[in-house]
Chain A
């Protein structure tokens, strides 16, 4: 045990002290913060007032175009278009809107003049305002008014509630899906990123020719497990730092720029990720970060999100996440280690990478395309039992609620699968690490399983 501990320490420390690790760990939260803050910042920056002069020959829009915070209108008296243009040129107004003589039935010929390109945003705003006004006038002409119309308009929202033994629970399919998918995505990338690191580490030991020196002191199994566990610790460290640093970076950047994070999907995603994984983090983080005052509808959505998070079984999700995170990593990690032992350099790994990449990728695609739509269907069930796909598929299912026996069976199978792949990997590993300059194939590998060493 003492030796494994030494190996874990070495694997951990040499990686954590690498410049690339430090840079990646610090840079990612900054990037995340930037992505979340930037949209809000940009919207605020472009918030200077635009003034539009209006020459209305039709008379239809007189006093109808109301100035807003960011868009002001200056009506022009009766002038010809050329005169108006001259006046406009002398001012520093943003644009000149020309409305020709027209009837309400056939509105066309609107032109907006600018000194430089008119922004799409301004153009769209103007179009919307004109359209709305024309519609209003048409309603009036046909005997309706806006208020009557607003009364007629319906706004329906469905609240989904789970009826289960524990009583009624609020449910929001979108939030539930996000919680599951975020967990699955993290597991997926973690397995790949750090699994490949195990493989590289083993290949490095082989090409550096240190491996025989090592195994004259320790058992191959100790060397392999030490590496797998050490790298898992590196991954967990990085992940934890990301969560903590992202939180601080977002808070700090928001404070520094005096901006609320934009209510972008990225923000909700990240907030969801924190709430789902952090466990202890308050579930009202999303609203704190993503609330924009004055917008009732948005605030409502946020409170829905809040409730949905509250309705999720955060403790169970967090526990399942940790379990499938580590279980999946250990299962695949030992296979990656075996591949590293079987080859001499990274270019030879392709043929062996395929069969262990495919189940992961399939699990990931299926999660999106089938499991999310039908989290209790047969595909979802079987894929969440098979240890090769369960870390991802079950993670997607858990937030929707999975019967206890299914969860326990899946976890049990994952542990069994992990023990099995570790056994296979250690058999391949102990033969492979001492084998140089030999191109191996599957037939050869299968023989190694039963070598007596």
Chain B
């Protein structure tokens, strides 16, 4: 079942089109990557989902219902441009933001307590935000985003500005949120940063969706049956079933990219190689999302 269904959404500004007939679905309980270069329309789409702006056309369904203001409290949004009130204490700030999401004071207080215990930041509660380091502020922001236990969490460029330690902490938290049934949307232009996290992705370029689907399927579609082989010996491929795309040799150690042709299997290649050289490493070359994106964009431009 999909938690969010986007149907033909378009958004026009005075002199450019931010979104042009974009459609895709986000399955419940997955980590979804909304990927694309800067200015592709990711933030516009997110602002439509979070009802900060409205779409000019198209429909959005949240848990099967047309998107409506009441859904806001079931979403958590960490914008790219994010900050907190500098002169406000951490505890008050979290309480305020949680209450604005519709939590009662008692619920909010209890949840804040459990989160600060988890992040071991009890001593920050009475500090002003401006007295915290940037990394600390980011933790507080993250807590504020998920405090009301939304079923949809939207993180826009979440790791820009996070230091590696905090980034890992947040990644772990995101995985545990998914365990508990939440759906997470990552929006980023740094595709490699979320590749290993995402179950599903949608690629957006110049206001249009380029492709979407489960990461595994997309990679299967775009894999090129190419294997990287490292070994010892003199490699000379003469078979018409295999094509050497690239080969380097250094002190008798070679490294080659070999493409399978004529429906041969990796095992066929391996058997062929074993008879001729000593194989140290045999890895399938899977295209990165980045490469797929570039390839796809090129295709659409030529098309």
Contacts and interface: CB of A to CB of B under 8 A. Distances in A.
B83 A216 contact: no
Given A208-B85, A210-B84, A217 B56 contact: no
B81 A209 contact: yes
Interface in B51-87: 51-54, 56, 72, 75, 77-79, 81-87
Interface in A206-244: 208-210, 212-218
B52 A6 contact: no
Given A208-B83, A217-B101, A453 B53 contact: yes
29 contacts: A6-B99, A204-B85, A204-B86, A208-B83, A209-B79, A209-B81, A210-B82, A210-B83, A210-B84, A212-B52, A212-B77, A212-B79, A212-B81, A212-B82, A213-B78, A213-B79, A213-B83, A213-B84, A213-B97, A213-B144, A214-B100, A216-B51, A216-B52, A217-B72, A217-B97, A217-B101, A434-B47, A434-B52, A453-B54
A438 to B, nearest CB: 13
Contacts, number: 63
Interface of B: 14, 47, 50-54, 56, 72, 75, 77-79, 81-88, 96-97, 99-101, 141, 144
Most A CB within 10 A of own CB, among B56, B72, B78, B81: B81
A210 B85 contact: yes
A103 interface: no
Interface residues of A, number: 24
Given A208-B86, A452-B54, A453-B53, A216 B79 contact: yes
B100 A217 contact: yes
B243 to A, nearest CB: 51
Contacts of A10: 88, 96
A101 interface: no
Given A208-B84, A209-B79, A216-B50, 5 more contacts: A205-B85, A210-B82, A213-B82, A436-B81, A452-B56
B46 to A, nearest CB: 9
A218 B84 contact: no
Which 4 residue pairs across A and B have the least CB separation, nearest first? A209-B83, A212-B79, A216-B77, A208-B83
Contacts of B54: 452-453
Contacts of A216: 50-52, 72, 75, 77, 79
Contacts of A453: 53-54
Contacts of A7: 100
